[in-house]
Structure 1
């Protein structure tokens, strides 16, 4: 049986607009409107999940999806950088940011490394490829990146080369560890 995993990125929020590490803020009014307009357009799924963040849970609700928050689908833990913008952190800690962006094993913020995130999401994706068919999850953009890195067997250094626009669907389908990918289409396509 072919497994299908649909990963939906969160709707626009002030944090996403300002390149702010998740600060627990909500999606903005425009993002909520776009998500409500796309409600009912996503493929049916046997299982619906969300990242635990406020913006993912609100996006799921606006899309008319009801599923539990899955801790294993949490976004990258950026430790003490949480709530700050990349520009703020870059100005205060330029060497740490350069190390973090250049070395997937680095975690100068005291949180999780990109390699650790990719490993966590790879384990989840392998488990999600079970016999129940379709899984739909509203997840942080970095979770989508990590899933793509795993699905295509890319080097972890490719993580930062993948852009995930707000409120887009990345579809993975496959069996026995081999995945095909459809990137970033809007929910109503």
Structure 2
């Protein structure tokens, strides 16, 4: 019997997006279409949580989701790198940037390590009540990657190999003490969720290529 179904929606803007979807201005046509598709595809839920950032608050508002701020869902602390394009960081500090991508405990930016993010996310997942039911969270790609590291029981070094597209969803289902993960369809291919949909049981596969880091464009 399913006791917990956690749907995590990625609020991270796509690198290079020109729509300003997650910015202070109005979204472009593409942004409005993607938001409408994401809203229509949200599954039924009994409780909604979001990261405490103004960015995630705006996404929740745009989706008409009354989500409670949850501090443990906050984004990775990028320290002095916060808000800077990854290519600039790689050019300025190639050793530190490379170390950060390969060593989960490295903190060349003075912020939070990937390992620490994974540990705090793991602790939160373990503390979810067994009767939590269906929970929706709106958070950043880094937090969703950290959740997948725990659920899939993969090494923390796999963190950057987990692809989480903007406005995609990952559904984590806890059944009989075991977690399963399912990656949602791309926004453009989604259909509205139905209450009688079967619970997801498929395991997410890790892509072979590393995805760009989303350090820029966040408020």
Alignment partner, residue 137 of structure 2 = 137
Matched, 1:2 2:3: yes
Alignment partner, residue 57 of structure 1 = 57
Alignment partner, residue 95 of structure 1 = 95
Matched, 1:80 2:80: yes
Distance 1:117 1:33, change over 3 A: same
How many residue pairs end up in the alignment? 182
Deviates more, 1:163-172 or 1:29-38: 29-38
Conserved? CA contact 1:11–1:59, under 8 Å: no
User: For residues 121 and 35 of structure 1, what CA distance do their matches in structure 2 show?
Assistant: 26
Residue deviations 1:42-83, cap 9 Å, x none? 112121011122332222211111112211001110111001
Alignment partner, residue 128 of structure 1 = 128
Conserved? CA contact 1:8–1:167, under 8 Å: yes
Shift of 1:34: 1.6
Q: Which secondary structure state, in structure 2, belongs to the residue aligned with residue 98 of structure 1? A: helix
Q: Which structure has the larger Rg over C-alpha atoms?
A: 2
Conserved? CA contact 2:80–2:109, under 8 Å: yes
Residue deviations 1:152-184, cap 9 Å, x none? 111000101011111111001013541011013
Shift of 1:185: 2.2
Distance 1:150 1:129, change over 3 A: farther
Distance 1:26 1:162, change over 3 A: farther
Mapping for residues 34-183 of structure 1, pairs under 5 Å: 34-175=34-175, 177-183=177-183
Conserved? CA contact 2:38–2:167, under 8 Å: no
User: For residues 153 and 52 of structure 1, what CA distance do their matches in structure 2 show?
Assistant: 27
Q: Which secondary structure state, in structure 2, belongs to the residue aligned with residue 150 of structure 1? A: helix
Shift of 1:38: 3.2
Residue deviations 1:18-40, cap 9 Å, x none? 49xxxx94484333442134324
Shift of 1:129: 4.8
Q: Which secondary structure state, in structure 2, belongs to the residue aligned with residue 39 of structure 1? A: helix
Conserved? CA contact 1:48–1:137, under 8 Å: yes
Distance 1:123 1:38, change over 3 A: same
Q: Gaps (5+ residues) in structure 2? A: 192-219
Q: Which secondary structure state, in structure 1, belongs to the residue aligned with residue 172 of structure 2? A: strand
User: For residues 186 and 63 of structure 2, what CA distance do their matches in structure 1 show?
Assistant: 12
User: For residues 55 and 165 of structure 2, what CA distance do their matches in structure 1 show?
Assistant: 14
TM-score between the two structures when normalised by the length of structure 2: 0.76
